[in-house]
Amino acid sequence: MLLVEELAALTAPERVSTKLADREQAARDESSCAPVLPDVVVWPLSTEEVSRVVCYASAHEIPLTARGAGSSLEGNPIPVHGGIVLDLSRMDRIVAVHAEDLQVTVQPGIVYNRLNEQLKPYGLFFPPSPGGSADVATIGGMVANNASGIYSVKYGGTREHVKAATVVTGTGEVLRLGTRCRKTSSGYHLLGLLVGSEGTLAIATELTLALVGLPQGRKQGAFTFPSEQAAVTAIATMMRYGVDLAAAEFLDRRSIAALNRFQGFGLEEKPSLFVEVHGSPSSVEEVFASAQALCEEHGGTLIVLPGGRNPWEVRHFTTRAIQALNPQAQTIRTDLGFPISRLPDVVAESYAIAARYGVVLYTFGHAGLGILHALLREDPRDLVRWAAANRAKDDIVSFVLSMGGTASGEHGIGLGSRKYVRQEHGAALELMKGIKRLFDPKNILNPGKIWSDEA
Non-local (6+) Cβ contacts of 80 within 8 A are: 36, 415, 447, 448, 449
What beta strand segments (E) does 53-100 contain?
64-67, 84-87, 94-98
Q: Does position 448 bind a second copy by CB under 8 A?
A: no
Residue from the set 195, 231, 295, 359 that interacts with a second copy by CB under 8 A = 195
382-415 as b/e: b if 16+ CB within 10 A: eeebbebbbebbebbbebbbeeebbbbbbbbbbb
Residues 124-153 binding a second copy (CB under 8 A) are 145-148, 152
Q: At what angle do helices 2-10 and 47-60 cross, to 10 degrees?
A: 150
Tell me how far apart the terminal alpha carbons of the chain are, to the nearest angstrom.
34
Cβ closer to a second copy: 188 or 304? 188
Cβ closer to a second copy: 224 or 319? 319
Q: How far is the CB of 430 from a second copy (least distance, A)?
A: 9
Q: Which amino acid is at 91?
A: M
Residue 228 · residue 256 · CB < 8 Å? no
Q: Does position 95 bind a second copy by CB under 8 A?
A: no
Number of residues forming the site for a second copy (CB under 8 A): 88
Q: Any idea what DSSP says for residue 225? A: -
Cβ closer to a second copy: 40 or 147? 147
Residue from the set 17, 51, 71, 103 that interacts with a second copy by CB under 8 A = 103
Q: Does position 102 bind a second copy by CB under 8 A?
A: yes
Cβ closer to a second copy: 285 or 313? 285
Residues 151-190 binding a second copy (CB under 8 A) are 152, 156-157, 159-160, 164, 169, 173, 175-177, 179-190
Which residues are registered as beta bridge partners of 203?
Answer: 168
Q: How far is the CB of 407 from a second copy (least distance, A)?
A: 6
Cβ burial, residue 156 (10 Å; 0-12/13-18/19+)? middle
Cβ closer to a second copy: 7 or 287? 287
Chain-centroid distance of CA 258 in Å reads 22
Residue 38 · residue 82 · CB < 8 Å? yes
Q: How far is the CB of 296 from a second copy (least distance, A)?
A: 20
CA distance 43 to 107: 13
Cβ closer to a second copy: 295 or 346? 346
Q: How far is the CB of 192 from a second copy (least distance, A)?
A: 4
CA distance 97 to 60: 38
Chain-centroid distance of CA 279 in Å reads 26
Cβ closer to a second copy: 38 or 414? 414
Cβ closer to a second copy: 219 or 436? 436
User: 3-state DSSP call for residue 266?
Assistant: coil
Q: Does position 17 bind a second copy by CB under 8 A?
A: no
Residues 317-376 binding a second copy (CB under 8 A) are 335, 337-341, 366, 369-371
Cβ closer to a second copy: 145 or 272? 145
User: 3-state DSSP call for residue 337?
Assistant: strand
Residue from the set 12, 212, 303, 324 that interacts with a second copy by CB under 8 A = 212
Q: How far is the CB of 154 from a second copy (least distance, A)?
A: 12
Q: Which of 424, 416, 423, 426 is nearest to 450 (CA)?
A: 416
Residues 383-442 binding a second copy (CB under 8 A) are 404-413, 417, 421, 424-429, 431-432, 434-436, 438-439
Contact letters for a second copy, residues 217-256 (x by CB under 8 A): -------------------x--xxxx--------------
Q: Which of 67, 122, 69 is nearest to 96 (CA)?
A: 122
Cβ closer to a second copy: 318 or 417? 417
Q: How far is the CB of 429 from a second copy (least distance, A)?
A: 7
Q: Does position 101 bind a second copy by CB under 8 A?
A: yes
Residues 261-320 binding a second copy (CB under 8 A) are 279-280, 282-283, 286-287
Q: Which of 148, 366, 369, 345 is nearest to 239 (CA)?
A: 369
Chain-centroid distance of CA 448 in Å reads 19
